[in-house]
């Protein structure tokens, strides 16, 4: 008495497995960057009293495959204000507590600077407490910078620590369920 097994479906499924895992990781990377962007936007909107929303709308993301075939998700802003807000500015920015990615060393200006009042559309004295002075009939705000008010790094850390593994596992589970022959 003998038993014959048809291994063709098993072999076909095993051949499909690397692509299914890759596609699942690709989809999970999008889940991670989208969730990070949502959290960063929520942090911005909950912390900004005087805002047009342009900084939150400036957040962008992408998922790419690098030369070593690693799937990389990126979230960024092309608005310069994002860097100032994330890292702070001047002596106050340098002294403020912040989470800076390893290998990154910002340099902060140590002397105060002047901002012409007619170059901004809000009263920086009322919003940030910047001194206002007049020199030869021209008004300026004087600042030594602003502390960091991070929104992007905390959103990324929260998503990475709380959700990334679960999102990847769910995508792999769903990909295997839908992509294997029965």
User: Which pLDDT tens digits describe the chain residue by residue (182 residues)?
Assistant: 788 877 888 788 788 888 999 999 999 999 999 999 999 999 998 877 666 788 899 999 999 999 999 999 999 999 999 999 999 999 999 999 999 988 989 999 999 999 999 999 889 998 888 999 999 999 999 999 999 999 999 999 999 999 999 999 999 999 888 866 65
CA torsion sign, 151 to 152 to 154 to 156? Answer: positive
C-alpha Rg value of the chain to the nearest Å: 25
Alpha carbon 95 to its chain's center: 23
Q: How far apart are CA 79 and CA 85, in angstroms?
A: 10
Q: How far apart are CA 46 and CA 150, in angstroms?
A: 12
Which helix H or strand E contains 12, and what residues bound it? helix 8-47
pTM of the model: 0.83
């Amino acid at each position: 008495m003998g038993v014959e097994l048809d291994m063709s479906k098993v072999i076909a499924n095993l051949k499909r497995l690397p692509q299914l895992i890759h596609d699942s990781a690709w989809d999970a990377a999008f889940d991670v960057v989208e969730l990070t962007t949502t959290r960063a936007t929520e942090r911005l909107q909950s912390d900004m009293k005087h805002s047009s929303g342009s900084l939150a709308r400036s957040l962008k993301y992408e998922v790419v495959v690098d030369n070593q075939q690693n799937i990389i998700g990126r979230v960024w802003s092309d608005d310069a204000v994002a860097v100032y807000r994330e890292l702070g500015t001047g002596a106050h920015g340098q002294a403020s507590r912040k989470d800076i990615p390893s290998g990154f060393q910002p340099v902060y200006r140590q002397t105060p600077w002047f901002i012409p009042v007619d170059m901004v559309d809000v009263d920086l004295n009322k919003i940030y407490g910047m001194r206002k002075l007049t020199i030869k009939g021209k008004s300026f705000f004087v600042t030594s910078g602003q502390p960091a008010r991070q929104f992007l790094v905390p959103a990324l850390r929260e998503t990475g620590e709380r959700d990334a593994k679960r999102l990847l596992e769910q995508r792999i589970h769903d990909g295997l369920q839908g992509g294997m022959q029965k």
